Homo-oligomer: A and B are copies of this chain.
Amino acid sequence: MIAQETQRNWKPIIKQFEAVVGKDGVVRRKEELLTYECDGLASYRQRPALVVLPRTTEQVAEAVKICDQNQIPWVARGAGTGLSGGALPVEDCVLIVTALMKRILDVDLENQRIVVQPGVINNWVTQAVSGAGFYYAPDPSSQIICSIGGNVAENSGGVHCLKYGVTTNHVLGLKLVLPDGSIVDVGGSVPEFPGYDLTGLFVGSEGTLGIATEITLRILKTPESICVLLADFATVEESGAAVADIISSGIIPGGMEIMDNLSINAVEDVVATGCYPRDAGSILLVELDGLEVEVATSKQRVAELCKKNGARNITTASDPETRLKLWKGRKAAFAAAGHMSPDYFVQDGVIPRTQLVGVLKEIEALSEKYGYAIANVFHAGDGNLHPLILYDNSIPGALHKVEELGGEILKLCVKVGGSISGEHGIGADKKCFMPDMFSETDLETMQWVRQVFNPKGLANPGKIFPTPRTCGESAKAQNLGQFKQSEVF
């Protein structure tokens, strides 16, 4: 197959794409294609044959049809900030980039919904409605640069997903271009729609079932009051216990984040918040939102529960400026990891909240075993861990060892009843771990769905599901039966 691809005569195909999106909508010069070689997971790279930039649903459909008719694999890409390589090109593919589809198509404040094109930046949605007292809840760290289309593909999360849920809980409907180029509408403008929940199926399907070209999102009323509480503890165990107590008390904070000592010092080195004590074993950030009285009462209770679990200092802030200051370090955590070490590898796994302390101990043991420092930053309320493994990529073999370490952490998450991905997707990065989580029959069932929407395997091939060619010895999925043929693609 690959041999055949490299012999493809692209000239007439480029003409076909240019007829759809115009000459300026096709990128084909090698140096311009560099940008598109990877997404946020920069350790995998592959240059696409061509980049196509449509502006409308119809142009996307036409572009997909050209791929379908010419048997060209294609990959959809939003802003390219994904961390699991979901938008990683495959050899000789066409990359369909939604960067020019940046229009907000409809705002309906009364019914609390907004319709956007996939290239609209996450943050713009809130900006478009905040004047009227509304906001869009899912807030990935990359929210000032990531696109809604990418959020839909990866079912992105964020700090506020503890209370408000991930992207799938906020998508009401989608206009989709399927891999055969047909245009369908799934879901709609009211929350419950009859028939199969194809909207839910598409959210998180990482571009393997089609491209969303219009997205109807639910927007929420801005809370009357928001308060951020920062507590520091001597150990991570103590802040973990505080989180358990807060949840048990029935309070559901907007977000609840823990950072360990290594992360604290990293961010203080870089952004010098002055709020995170360098000698603390951990800090806990709790954001409370709701009615003013509710927030005031919850704040008091959360503070009590922190003290009960050994909090040394507690700071609270209700005004936007001080709130931002308390959050500043957490928001800069990934960037700080980059300053602390030549390279870092961010892992994303989920564990049942009750396993937090035990899992952190095992991560520490793994860190010692492999000899790489690991800074821990996590959405503590929903057990979503983000261990940052610090390493130097210029040392031969380091990346491989770090990936192995990251893999051990994921297997640990699965062992305690958790998941190999909280909010970053599977993409190219984690597909080898799918058999650790799912039986062959479970994976086959998912692939039935892919086969039916994507029978030629042209839409984002090689993602999500393990393939013998790329997973090497760690793939248990070599016997995927009926899908083996198409999977090797």
Binding site for B on A (CB under 8 A): 110-111, 133, 155, 157, 165-166, 168-169, 178, 182-186, 188-198, 200-201, 203-205, 209, 221-224, 244, 248, 250-251, 290-294, 296-298, 350-354, 382-384, 417-423, 425-426, 430, 434, 437-439, 441-443, 445-446, 448-453, 464
Contact = CB atoms under 8 A, between A and B. Distances in A.
Given A111-B354, A196-B201, A434-B195, A186 B293 contact: no
A384 B448 CA distance: 34
Contacts of A200: 168, 197, 200-201
A204 to B, nearest CB: 6
Given A192-B421, A194-B464, A198-B449, 4 more contacts: A182-B445, A196-B446, A291-B297, A292-B297
B184 A197 contact: no
Contact of A197 (B204, B292, B383, B426): B204
Contacts of A221: 248, 250
29 contacts: A110-B352, A110-B354, A111-B352, A111-B353, A157-B192, A182-B445, A185-B439, A186-B445, A188-B419, A189-B352, A189-B417, A190-B383, A190-B417, A192-B382, A192-B419, A192-B422, A194-B437, A195-B204, A195-B438, A195-B443, A195-B446, A198-B449, A201-B449, A224-B250, A250-B291, A290-B294, A293-B294, A448-B452, A452-B452
A86 to B, nearest CB: 11
B189 A197 contact: no
B442 A453 contact: no
A446 B111 contact: no
Contact of A193 (B110, B182, B190, B419): B419
A43 B205 CA distance: 40
B294 A192 contact: no
B293 A442 contact: no
A437 B196 CA distance: 13
Q: Which 7 A-B pairs have the closest CB atoms?
A: A200-B200, A294-B294, A221-B250, A194-B421, A293-B293, A452-B452, A448-B452
Contacts of A437: 188, 194
Contacts of A292: 297
Given A221-B250, A353-B111, A155 B441 contact: no
Nearest to A413: B190
Interface centre among A184, A190, A297, A453 (most CB of B within 10 A): A190
Nearest to A296: B293
Contacts of A293: 293-294, 296-297
A441 B297 contact: no
A168 B251 CA distance: 23
Nearest to A185: B442
A201 B298 CA distance: 37
A340 to B, nearest CB: 28
Interface centre among A194, A244, A423, A441 (most CB of B within 10 A): A194
B192 A155 contact: yes
Nearest to A197: B200
Nearest to A414: B188
Contacts of A248: 110, 221
A477 to B, nearest CB: 12
Nearest to A203: B197
A153 to B, nearest CB: 12
B194 A425 contact: yes
Given A194-B425, A201-B201, A441 B184 contact: yes
A224 B397 CA distance: 55
A464 B195 CA distance: 7
A8 B169 CA distance: 47
A382 B111 CA distance: 10
A437 B382 CA distance: 37
A186 B438 CA distance: 9
